[in-house]
Structure 1
Amino acid sequence: MNDEQRRQDLADFLRTRRMRLSPEQVGLIRGGRRRTPGLRREEVAQLANVGVSWYTLLEQGRAIHPSSEVLQSIADALQLTPDERQHLFLLADQQHLVDTHASHEQVSSALRRVLDALNPIPAYVIGRRWNYLAWNTAAEHVLLLSKSVPPYEYNAVWRMFADPMSRHLYNPKWEQVAQKVLAEFRADSAYYADEEWFKRLIADLQRVSPEFRAWWPRHDVRGRADAQKDIEHPLVGCLMFEHTTLQVPTMPELKIMIYTPLPETDTLEKLQRLMDQGVAMNAV
């Protein structure tokens, strides 16, 4: 899409969103007859705290460049849904940052059934704060995810650096794995670095982990990528996986982590053994 077409689509999108709202829906008084349905441009400008002339130019497809803050204000004024907000930012040629003040993250029942269906392949869901939100039985047996590690009970970064069990699971490559996790977490941190929970987590990690204290100032960043991951399990020994990350389209801040047994290894057999042992223990 060229710039002219993008600006025209943005103008049309704003106009159609404006026309679907009534003054009563946004807390305004109707004030007499209206020739066209919906809000007037000056009303949207008032609600978004922007100039009427400036907003008119935006709806006319003129070459102006609203900031992210202004786009958020317009989105609020037009009562856009999350999908509509994303579309607005795309048409405005802006990157839409994940709302770090979003409501509580929830894993749908359908996604939980997907995790269960993947057994005996370990799989879990991680949220925007890198908290484990849901996992299947195989992931519990392999990674011991139901074991909380206070004060950040189910935070993946905290467990990596503060829980001694992680050093056993990833021995002898714990440092290599921990540095990759930290670099991925650092890349995500741009979305929520100003939040108080994030500042507390970083301060506590620096207090309890000399490795974190040494590596965090490096500002190493990396994106998530498929990779091999080996785990030294206390009951069945070495497990070798291909680690894959999938995104949830309806909640892009959620990630599905899947550990597929590496071909030509005995990992799948060992996973099945762990599953069988778990069933036997529950039956006792």
Structure 2
Amino acid sequence: MSESTAADNLLGAYLKDRRTRLDAAAFCFSGSRRRTPGLRREEVAQRANISSTWYTWLEQGRGGAPSADVLDRIARALMLTDVEREHLFLIGLGRPPEVRYQASEGVSPRLQRVLDALSFSPALVRTATWDVVAWNRAASVVLTDYGAIPPGQRNILRFIFCDPRVRAAQYDWDSVARFVVAAFRADAARAGAVSHVADFVDELCRTSPEFAALWRDNDVRHHGDGTKRLRHPVHGTMSFEYSSFNVEGRSDLSMIVYNPATPEDADRIRKLLAERAD
């Protein structure tokens, strides 16, 4: 195959590269009389439960675009990681694969250290279904003492609609409530978690007529960045500029950082942290 042809056949080149990296013996294929490393084409086809002729055509750049189902089978046959599977779809179909939602198992110690380094900026990590899975000390004293709440109850929508203290802290609860419902809907759909959150949504609809009304509106929004004001019962109003970031390599997680808007707001957080330490 010429260099120009190889450049045009990105899918075939990628498939060949991935299969040659696999150990045939690990899949109980005979290792005798192999002139090249890795799996043979027919062995990949066997593992993917597709025609060996069709797989050969894919590597050779013949036969047109494969279906998403075929690419999914090949991805499993080649033991591709999530990022490798996504790349396979992008070069094979020009789009990413459908999202397969997996409930988060928390954050790495390294990411927790990033949160902890933000001493005076409340910061947290939430899932695509808005469950809080990590936070720093500033978030505990300014937003919610997440550590005092059972893990299964640490959901931002649950706080907004079911916790009177969180509700009272919002400067414009109506706008906040409308925003979080719309952003939650968009995030759950983007993550492929609509069926996963169905029971939770039903629960909130029964618990909160206000949530039920907002959910029926079908609004969607992007979290992004913005400003937020909170009422503290002792230290008064605190203003923040917030930004939301996707966690690299973890499409199910987002980190939200609330930076104090003024030096006075930062001083209030310092006082709250000092009071908690006493």
AA aligned opposite 2:10: D
Please identify, of 136-145 and 66-75, the stretch whose mean Cα deviation from structure 2 is larger: 66-75
Q: Give runs of aligned pairs for residues 30-69 of structure 1, distance below 5 A.
A: 30=30, 32-62=32-62, 64-69=64-69
> Counterparts of 2:29 and 2:52 in 1: how far apart (Å)?
18
The residue type paired with residue 161 of structure 1 is: F
CA separation in 2, counterparts of 1:63 and 1:246?
A: 41
Which residues in structure 2 correspond to 1:64-213 (within 5 Å)? 64-92=64-92, 93-101=94-102, 104-146=104-146, 152-171=152-171, 173-190=172-189, 191-195=192-196, 198-213=197-212
Conserved 8 A contact 1:149-1:159: no
Equivalence for 1:274: 272
Deviation string, structure 1 residues 242-282 (Cα, Å, up to 9, x no partner):
1101122132321111001114x6211211111111112xx
Aligned residue for 2:146, secondary structure, equals coil
Query: Is the Cα–Cα contact under 8 Å of residues 125 and 132 in structure 1 kept in the other structure?
Result: yes
Q: Which amino acid aligns with 1:91?
A: I
What are the superposed Cα offsets for residues 152-203 of structure 1, whole Å, 9 maximum, x if unpaired? 41111222222222211113x11111111111111122211123xx121011
- Contact 1:98/1:253 (CA < 8 Å) preserved in 2? no
Distance 1:133 1:82 in 2: 22
Identity of aligned residues (%): 41
Aligned length: 271
Taking the aligned partners of 2:71 and 2:86, their CA distance within structure 1 comes to: 10
What is the identity, as a one-letter code, of the residue corresponding to 2:215?
W
Q: 2:9 and 2:127 mapped to 1: Cα distance?
A: 36
Task: Note closer, same or farther for the CA distance 1:240–1:74 as it changes in structure 2 (3 Å cut).
Answer: same
Letter in 2 for 1:87: H
Structure 1 residues 50 and 157, CA gap change in structure 2 (3 angstroms):
farther
1:8 aligns with 2:6: no
Structure-1 residue corresponding to 2:238: 239
Displacement of 1:81 after TM fit? 2.0
Question: 2: CA distance between counterparts of 1:237 and 1:246?
Answer: 28
Pair 1:25-2:26 in alignment: yes
Structure 1 gap segments, 5+ residues each: none
After superposition, the Cα gap between the structure-2 partners of 1:94 and 1:106, relative to the gap in structure 1 and judged at 3 Å, is same
Specify every segment of 5 or more residues in structure 2 that has no aligned partner in the other structure, as ranges.
none
Structure 2: how far apart are the matches of 1:206 and 1:109?
36
**CA distance in 2: counterparts of 1:5 and 1:34, whole angstroms:** 24
Return closer, same or farther for 1:261/1:97 CA change in 2, 3 Å cut-off: farther
2:218 is matched with: 219
Q: TM-score, normalised by structure 2?
A: 0.89
